Amino acid sequence: MKARVLVMVLDAFCSDMLSEKLTPNLKRFAREWTSVPAARSVFPSETRVCASSLASGCWPERHGITANYQFLPPDGRLFNSGLPEDLREWKKRLSEPALCVPPVPDLGRALAGAGRSLLTVAAASDGCCSLLDWDAAALGHTRLVVRTPSLCTPDGSHEDMVRAFGPVPAVREADGTYSPALMAYTVSVLLGRIDADMPDVALCWLPEPDMAGHLFGTRSMQHDRALSVIDEQCGRVMEWWEKKGRDQGWQLLFMADHGMDDADAQRDIPAALQAAGFETTVAEDGQAITAVMDGSTFRILNAASGHARLDGPCGEKPLRALIETLKPLCHDVFLADALLQRFPDPGVRPLSGARCSHALGPQIRFTLAGSDGNPGAPSGSVKIGFHGGCGKREMNPLLLAGGRLLRSRYESLKPSALPDIAPTVLTMLGVPVPERMQGRVLTELFADTGTL
Ligand SMILES: [Zn+2]
């Protein structure tokens, strides 16, 4: 029978959030099928970076979306990859011949090349939803961005969705978390369209428990509630799967893009830069800092997982001053390899080792420190939960897989990471993996590797 694959992405669902009490459906699935408790995200563990790694099968060093917000050369304007117009410009820059980088593959294109189809139903940010199947319109795939009619393809598909499933419910609850009704609606659309279209691959993205974690922390009542809501929707998907999806050849993956951890300290980067002698300007929203010393200008993202870009001259004194300013506030400071060779520092890690070094990306990265390995937050932040850094919980997303092609009652202890998902999905379908995909096929999850 022809294999099909459904991938459910539960934003910021850390592997350790599985429990009998709050997520009994997912817990049961983990027991009965394959679980990968040591699954890893990519660094920086931010949503659009992860969405790009999931779709492309590549590390950020290759796909080039190396942050949610990034200062792009030559003028250092801050781009937001959550906005389609910024993302389009960013993608255009990534494809410029001057960068000498061949195009990056993705799941949608590989499937289309083999005459297979991809259905995307997503309720995440516009940028994230677009990245899941960037060329969906040109490839003839269906992409339903539940909240944004203009990003749905083919033309008229949002209207069709509303006709078939009713109007899109309110997106947020009064407390700022995504509404349970939005999750239920998204899953209804997914299951309805799977039945109607029978695609080869379906990709569904639910935006919680991410927001509940950011706003209230991962050990809050609101986060518990978000986990229960997500688990209930996953239970509906399992019910469909057990009743008929499995018999139709569907393999089922439940996964997350990254995890989440709670910050327990705030760090004041602008104050530290001023104390170190930088001439410092902070943008109104507090997110972008410009720090100048002796003719070197650093554009700094003031975030739990932050970075700095330098587009002019780089003097040794200002660079060392910036690094010495950041070190006491951070778990890790990374520096582009070329700069680290020029200015060696044993307390700084090479950016290439984190696999996110890119010509358009920042030359300096840092992760703010809380206590005991927890993330730190930028001063003044009202958020509690964070991801983006390389802390254990931030980098440990859920990964469960079940179906005829997959092992039952199996726990894989082998290392795996987000770029492995796309090549693994393609292999389950018998579609060739593009040569430039960097991920590994997770053959250890397969029930019988001889049949694949
Ligand atoms: Zn996310």
pLDDT tens, 112-155? 999 999 999 999 999 999 999 999 999 999 999 999 999 999 99
Average pLDDT for the chain: 96
Instruction: Give the Cα separation of 324 and 330 in Å (integer).
Output: 10
Mean pLDDT, rounded, for 283-291: 93
Q: What is the CA radius of gyration of the chain?
A: 22
Nearest to 141 by CA among 165, 105, 106, 116: 116
Percent of the chain at pLDDT > 70 equals: 99
CA of 207 from ligand 1 middle (Å) equals 7
Which of the four pLDDT bands, split at 50, 70 and 90, describes residue 47? very high
Instruction: Give the Cα separation of 147 and 237 in Å (integer).
Output: 21
Residue-level pLDDT at 1 = 81
Q: Examine the pLDDT at 187 and tell me if it is beyond 80.
A: yes
CA of 68 from ligand 1 middle (Å) equals 10
CA of 33 from ligand 1 middle (Å) equals 24
CA of 11 from ligand 1 middle (Å) equals 5
**What architecture (CATH level 2) is domain 4-64+104-262+390-451?**
3-Layer(aba) Sandwich (3.40)
Mean pLDDT, rounded, for 303-307: 97
Instruction: Give the Cα separation of 300 and 290 in Å (integer).
Output: 6
Tell me the angle at which helices 180-197 and 221-240 cross, rounded to the nearest 10 degrees. 20
Q: Examine the pLDDT at 351 and tell me if it is beyond 80.
A: yes
Q: DSSP readout, 180-212?
A: HHHHHHHHHHHHHHHHHH--SEEEEEE-TTHHH
* Cβ-proximal residues to 244 (8 Å cutoff; 6+ apart), any chain: none
Residue-level pLDDT at 317 = 97
Phi, psi of 121 (to 5 degrees): -130, 110
Residue-level pLDDT at 452 = 52
* Cβ-proximal residues to 21 (8 Å cutoff; 6+ apart), any chain: none
421-435 confidence digits (pLDDT tens): 999 999 999 999 999
CA of 46 from ligand 1 middle (Å) equals 6
Mean pLDDT, rounded, for 364-382: 94
Q: Examine the pLDDT at 448 and tell me if it is beyond 80.
A: no
CA of 216 from ligand 1 middle (Å) equals 16
Per the CB < 8 A criterion, the answer to whether 303 and 287 are in contact is: yes
Q: Examine the pLDDT at 275 and tell me if it is beyond 70.
A: yes
Mean pLDDT, rounded, for 434-444: 97
DSSP 243: I
Residue-level pLDDT at 121 = 98
CA of 418 from ligand 1 middle (Å) equals 12
CA of 335 from ligand 1 middle (Å) equals 25
CA of 105 from ligand 1 middle (Å) equals 21
Mean pLDDT, rounded, for 252-279: 97
CA of 314 from ligand 1 middle (Å) equals 34
CA of 66 from ligand 1 middle (Å) equals 14
Per the CB < 8 A criterion, the answer to whether 134 and 118 are in contact is: no
Which of the four pLDDT bands, split at 50, 70 and 90, describes residue 229? very high
- CATH 3.40.720.10 domain residues, the chain: 4-64+104-262+390-451
Mean pLDDT, rounded, for 167-182: 98
